[in-house]
Structure 1
């Protein structure tokens, strides 16, 4: 997915117009905090592509939730690691740091620093956990139909991953129902980068 330039421009303008909320409000010199952009939505919907576009324009570091899950059953654990290792420290005025999970070896690999900076993009399933509401400048929801998502996923991971993908889709559906992520989002996009909500402007 490639988000059209006009939509990308509106997203970026909104982020830049929003005061930084990391560190949390009330911290010393909040004007020097980080504007957090969260891109959430079901697997295969186009989140990574949007995150890459935002990162180039803002500019910003991107944290991918795929690096935080500890495998196909690690959705909930990855969300916790995001808050414990990245967003929690940033909210406290400290740098974040996480250890990437290597899906091929089945273990943790190198560490990645997430320094305090003007902008940070976090993308991936579960990134829009309700705890981001108080610290994010923008929460974007991206979705498309299940058949297209599965086609995209199997093209990337191989047909042998179909069982994993279907189990993941069930797990993320339960998580999104509990978190009400789509309803809480500031902006919703379809799998082709078009705004579906709000219907008038961003």
Structure 2
């Protein structure tokens, strides 16, 4: 059993945080690797663990003003043990599209910038922070998206900076996730209020998916 499997077992053993759901968040700067880590974690958790991407709730007009949609369309029904319904945003057509459903699974992952924001933290069982600096993350994102989205990134980085100044997530994270040559290193935070049954009491290296 590798460390990612151990981590997934420990996450499943956490007390539910949102009705019957253990809501696990992955936060960090844009381009820091949140989506990739969340996908690997979901695979290790198995059983069709759903991943909610906050890009689906944000929009060009509301980079970070999606809290009401998240609480009303996702958190509220999940807290009642009901299926959530939300309308994902199409970043090309600039409109919200047909509704998707999100089952109240035992574990649900939420990944995106601001996943650990103040309004969501009371509903989270665990918060991961991708420990990559802002400039390095944004540079990788710009290289990934190309020159065509340069103006978008200019607007985004200003908005993200304002968001984290007003509502930081880093200091509230239970664990830091660092990319390394071996894949990932998951490190505990002194502020963590749980220790995942003693599994994340030391740093653990997680091998890359290749």
Q: How far apart are the structure 2 equivalents of 1:167 and 1:143? A: 22
Superposed CA offset, 1:141-195 (max 9, x none)? 1131334323321233221212221321221222222223101110112344323
The question of 1:185 aligning with 2:173 is answered yes
Superposed CA offset, 1:92-147 (max 9, x none)? 33221110111111111121101111110010011112233222111001131334
Of 169-178 and 105-114, the range deviating more from structure 2? 169-178
- Contact 1:188 / 1:198 at 8 angstroms: preserved in 2? yes
* Partner residue in 2 for 1:110: 98
Runs of at least 5 residues in structure 1 that lack an aligned partner in the other structure: 24-32
Moved over 6 A (4+): none
Equivalent positions of 1:32-181 (< 5 A) are 33-59=20-46, 60-71=49-60, 73-181=61-169
The question of 1:194 aligning with 2:185 is answered yes
Query: Out of 8, 28, 41, which is 1:12 matched to?
Result: 8
Q: How far apart are the structure 2 equivalents of 1:80 and 1:127? A: 13
- Contact 2:17 / 2:124 at 8 angstroms: preserved in 1? yes
Equivalences, count: 187
- Contact 1:38 / 1:140 at 8 angstroms: preserved in 2? yes
RMSD: 2.0
C-alpha displacement at 1:78, in angstroms? Answer: 2.6
Runs of at least 5 residues in structure 2 that lack an aligned partner in the other structure: 191-200, 204-210
Q: How far apart are the structure 2 equivalents of 1:79 and 1:87? A: 10
Give the TM-score of the pair, scaled to structure 2.
0.80
Superposed CA offset, 1:2-32 (max 9, x none)? xxx52x3453233122111221xxxxxxxxx
- Contact 1:45 / 1:191 at 8 angstroms: preserved in 2? no
Please give the secondary structure, in 2, of the residue aligned with 1:110: coil
